[in-house]
Amino acid sequence: MGFVAEQLKTLSALRGELTTANVDATTKASLIKTVDDVTGELKAYEKDVIFYRIVVSTLGVVIVLIIIAIFVLLLRKITGFDALTAIGSAAVGGLVGLLAPSPIGQR
């Protein structure tokens, strides 16, 4: 189980414990709202691992295909493939953005 999945499981268990906790209703409601807010702040790709893997895989495939296309064009001595370079750069930037650790998670 991944780190985010463990966090979600822990938050779910905490919320379950809070619903049966023996505290006043105002405190209970405030704590449950806090747990719900923290759970809601997780990014969509952190909750949906399959979607995250699809996006990362797609960007990786795009990068590999762009590199192959540029090499083929270079071997045929064809110039003017600036669009391929731009698409490849955008894909690399997107991949780095997805895989870079969040500064929020480093608290």
Give me the residue spans of the domains in the chain.
1-42, 48-101
Q: What is the pLDDT of residues 46-77, one digit of tens each?
A: 667 787 788 889 999 999 999 999 899 989 99
Confidence of residue 10 (pLDDT cuts 50, 70, 90): confident
Judge contact between 67 and 61, C-beta under 8 A: no
Q: Tell me, what's the pLDDT at 8? A: 74
Measured distance CA(50)–CA(55) in Å, rounded: 9
How many Å apart are CA 88 and CA 9, to the nearest integer? 37
User: Measured between alpha carbons, how far is 68 from 16 in angstroms, rounded to an integer?
Assistant: 52
